[in-house]
Amino acid sequence: MAGKLTAAQGTGILLVTANVGSLFEDPENLQKTWLREFYQTVQTHRPQFLAVHCQEVGGKNYEASMSHVDSFVKELLSSDAMKEYNRARVYLDENYKSQEHFTALGSFYFIHESLKNIHQYDFKAKKFKKVVGKETYSETLESTPTLEKEKFPQDYFPECKWSRKGFIRTRWALAECAFDLVNIHLFHDASNLVAWEKSPSVYSGTRQKALGYVLDRITDQRFEKMPYFVFGDFNFRLDSKQVIETLCSSATMQMVRTADTNEVDKLIFRESDNDRKVVLQLEKKLFSYVNQDVFRENNGTSLLEYDRELSVFKDRLHELEISFPPSYPYSEDSSQGKQYMNTRCPAWCDRILLSSSARDLVLKPENEEKSIVYDNIGPNVCMGDHKVTRVCVRACVCVCVHLCVFESLIVL
């Protein structure tokens, strides 16, 4: 059923990925801004099928924030901006008491009233079923037949410490075109100092193993293979050791150790002259660089050569050309839209990736007029610590995929 999207059956699709953890820490300010920018994007592109993949639903203090999640979902389902979307499926992993299953992932799917022919796959019955009405699922996702959800095996987790990392997979059919949508959240860098120790870092290897696990699961023999879009918070980081060598190429390094354990506590890089001005100070959760503009000028693309984690999967995953600044870690101060926090080296964490067959679905004949945009949503306002990123692909077929790297956005 993996057909080609043609002009006759073309459908506008908007894909959005958003790490929304910050929204539930400050719902009064950040959430309102986020929703305003999101609604504006929807109204601009008017997709017939809209997929929003969220990570860290409920924020860091999810036990206390789940009431905010409920109001967030109700707002999305009932807002005037979404009134033309008369069918919806919402999947929320809210069961934080189940440590072995909890991922804090949320997948939202909205279908416009103009789209008549859409079906969703039932993984237990192994057949597509027509989508009608609006339905929300939570807490019992493990037994919900229209998705597959997994938390990564415990031995995949750094130091075998449980955290909210895993994936959710759904399968859809629009006319004669079927595809999988995968919401994913991979492991972060726990320590800047450990990430600096070697190239590539130990954390990069952990993410590689987890992403490989997901790709193997969604392409195994249990179900017919389909084109797939994987979008979420991959936590991909720049090669820290080599980036620091480049940023501090003319600086001298001072290593400060703790008195009791003699472990490295911080690294201080100073200019050789100029009164030995501090260029960079690095600690476990501190990355304080003297000039943040290097990550914003020309969208930080001079540092893309150090964005290498996806290269391992070059035969299995593809991405549109990046033309937006690193999506993380932005300030959570609602008055600061472009400022990075001094916690991590800025990186393109939030991405939208395509399988080879998915890429073929959205490629258009050379003689058709088209334009492709892959960038941020809300570039000048605070969207939380993750910015929203989008990819827009427009052609006669009007396939619009927005990947919100709020958040990433791809518009096909």
Of 14, 225, 40, 34, the closest CA to residue 109 belongs to 14
Which residue in the block uniquely carries the two structure tokens 């290097």?
294
* DSSP-assigned letter for residue 300: G
Which DSSP helix (H) or strand (E) runs through 62?
A: helix 62-78
pLDDT at 392: 55
Residue 151's pLDDT is what? 95
Q: Which 3 state secondary structure label does DSSP give 160? A: helix
For strand 264-271 and strand 148-151, is the pairing parallel, antiparallel, or unpaired? unpaired
Q: What SS3 state is found at 143?
A: helix
The one-letter amino acid at 348: W
CA distance 390 to 403: 4
Q: What is the DSSP letter of 187?
A: -
pLDDT digit of tens for each residue in the chain (412 aa)? 444 443 334 468 889 999 999 999 888 889 999 999 999 999 988 889 999 999 999 998 887 888 899 999 999 999 999 999 999 999 999 888 888 899 999 999 999 999 998 999 999 999 999 999 999 999 789 999 999 999 998 888 876 577 899 999 999 999 788 999 999 999 999 999 999 999 999 999 999 999 999 999 999 999 999 999 999 999 999 999 999 999 999 999 999 999 999 999 999 999 988 788 999 999 999 999 999 999 999 999 999 999 999 999 999 999 988 989 999 999 999 899 999 999 999 999 999 999 999 988 876 654 344 556 677 889 999 999 998 766 555 432 333 343 334 445 555 5
Give residues with Cβ within 8 angstroms of 147, minimum separation 6.
91, 107, 123, 141, 168, 169, 170
Is the pTM for the entire model greater than 0.85? yes
* DSSP bridge pairs for 280: 269, 289
- The strand pair at 49-55 and 13-19 is best described as parallel
Position 98 scores a pLDDT of 87
Residue 23, token pair as written in the block = 């929204």
